[in-house]
Chain A
Amino acid sequence: MGRIVGGFATAHIMMSRGSAGDKGERVFAGMKEIGRRIRALSPDVVVIISSDHLYNYDLSIQAPFAIATDAQHQPFGDMSLPTAPLAGAADFACGFVGFAAEHDADLVRLQDYRPDHGVTLPALIIDPDRQTPIVPFIINTAMDPAPRLARAWRYGELLAEYVQAARPADERVVVVGTGGLSHWLGVADMGRVNPAFDHAVIDAINSGNGQSLTAWTSDYVLEHGGNGGLEILNWVMMAATLPGQCGETIYYEEIPEWVTGMGGIALVSTPDLPEANA
Chain B
Amino acid sequence: MNPDNLVNRIASDLYRVPGLKARFQDDPASVLSRYPLSEAQRAGLMEGSFPSLAEAGMHPLVQMIYSVARHPAINAQISARAYIDDVMAEER
Show the binding face of A for B, using Cβ within 8 Å: 13-17, 19, 28, 32, 35, 39, 53-55, 58-60, 78-82, 117, 121, 124-125, 128-129, 141-142, 185-187, 190, 227
Which of A53, A81, A129, A186 is in CB contact (< 8 Å) with B50?
A186
Where chain B touches its partner, the secondary structure class is: helix
Check A53 against B61 for contact (C-beta < 8 Å). yes
Q: Inside 8 A of B83's CB, which chain A residues have their CB? A: 14, 17, 28
A227 to B63, CA, bound (A): 13
Which B residue's beta carbon lies closest to that of A59?
B8
Check A19 against B77 for contact (C-beta < 8 Å). yes
Check B59 against A14 for contact (C-beta < 8 Å). no
Stretch binding the partner chain, chosen from B9-17, B24-32, B34-42: B9-17
Q: Inside 8 A of A227's CB, which chain B residues have their CB? A: 60-61
Check A59 against B64 for contact (C-beta < 8 Å). no
Which A residue's beta carbon lies closest to that of B78?
A15
Check B84 against A58 for contact (C-beta < 8 Å). no
Which A residue's beta carbon lies closest to that of B61?
A142
Check A121 against B90 for contact (C-beta < 8 Å). no
Q: Inside 8 A of B76's CB, which chain A residues have their CB? A: 16
A28 to B80, CA, bound (A): 10
Check B77 against A15 for contact (C-beta < 8 Å). yes
Given A16-B76, A54-B64, A227-B60, A82 and B50 contact (CB-CB distance below 8 Å): no
Given A121-B84, A125-B87, A142-B59, A80 and B54 contact (CB-CB distance below 8 Å): no
A59 to B64, CA, bound (A): 14
Given A14-B83, A28-B83, A58-B8, A79 and B78 contact (CB-CB distance below 8 Å): yes
Q: How many residues of B contact A (CB 8 A)?
A: 34
Q: Inside 8 A of A186's CB, which chain B residues have their CB? A: 50, 53-54, 58-64
Show the binding face of B for A, using Cβ within 8 Å: 2, 5, 8-9, 11-12, 15, 50, 53-54, 58-65, 68, 75-84, 86-88, 90, 92
A16 to B79, CA, bound (A): 5
How close is A232's CB to chain B, nearest CB, in angstroms? 16
Q: Inside 8 A of B78's CB, which chain A residues have their CB? A: 13, 15-16, 79-80
Where chain A touches its partner, the secondary structure class is: loop
Given A80-B75, A185-B60, A60 and B82 contact (CB-CB distance below 8 Å): no
Q: Inside 8 A of B92's CB, which chain A residues have their CB? A: 39, 128-129
How close is B86's CB to chain A, nearest CB, in angstroms? 8
Given A14-B80, A80-B75, A186-B54, A124 and B9 contact (CB-CB distance below 8 Å): no
Check B62 against A59 for contact (C-beta < 8 Å). yes
- Of all A-B residue pairs in the complex, the 3 with the closest CB atoms, nearest first, are A186-B60, A17-B82, A186-B63
11 A-B pairs with C-beta separation under 8 A: A17-B83, A28-B86, A59-B8, A59-B62, A79-B79, A80-B78, A81-B81, A82-B88, A142-B62, A186-B53, A190-B50
How close is B22's CB to chain A, nearest CB, in angstroms? 15
Which B residue's beta carbon lies closest to that of A126?
B87
How close is B21's CB to chain A, nearest CB, in angstroms? 11
Which of A60, A81, A142 is in CB contact (< 8 Å) with B80?
A81
A59 to B12, CA, bound (A): 9
Check A124 against B64 for contact (C-beta < 8 Å). no
